[in-house]
Amino acid sequence: MVAQIPLVDYLVLDDEPRLVSKQCVTCGARFFDRRNACAACFSTAGFDDVDVAREGTLTAYTIVSHAAPGVPVPFVAGVVDCDGTSVRGNVVNVSPDPEHVHLGMKVRLTIVSAGVDAAGTEAVGYGFEPIEGSAGSGRER
């Protein structure tokens, strides 16, 4: 088995990979980065780690056709509402065109390999893939 490491601190790799956000103990606002104070209510009371829903609804997207050298295009960058938590991520395992991607599409969290180093360690990111029946299937991006 290949050793895996997450690309971001808030991606937890276990039997069911998941995202974990920081939730303000005062107002409930959620963030994915480390915070000293809440950007919503300015509280410094602290944050709890909370699991983010693994399924959600695509609320915004764009089909990226120009990117940095070496980044394959086109791909779909989106914003997903995961039961009230807004998550930015690529939409993968679907053809990157408006016939296959649409607002309101139901998606679920999936992990995506970013490559394997010489020691055999795989860097892993995340994306969202359509839930069957929500969009046509396509190739992975």
Mean pLDDT taken over the chain: 92
- How far is residue 35 CA from its own chain's centroid? 20
Q: How far apart are CA 123 and CA 127, in angstroms?
A: 14
Instruction: Say if residues 93 and 138 touch (Cβ distance below 8 Å).
Output: yes
Nearest to 32 by CA among 80, 102, 94: 80
Residue 140 pLDDT: 36
Strand duo 4-6 + 122-130: pairing: parallel
Residue-level pLDDT at 138: 39
State what percent of residues in the chain have pLDDT above 90. 89
User: What SS3 state is found at 2?
Assistant: coil
Question: Tell me: the pLDDT tens digits for 44-79?
Answer: 999 999 999 999 999 999 999 999 998 899 999 999
The values of phi and psi at residue 3, to 5°, are -70, 140
- For the segment 118-140, the average pLDDT, to the nearest whole number, is 77
pTM of this prediction?
0.88
pLDDT in tens, 125-134: 999 999 976 5
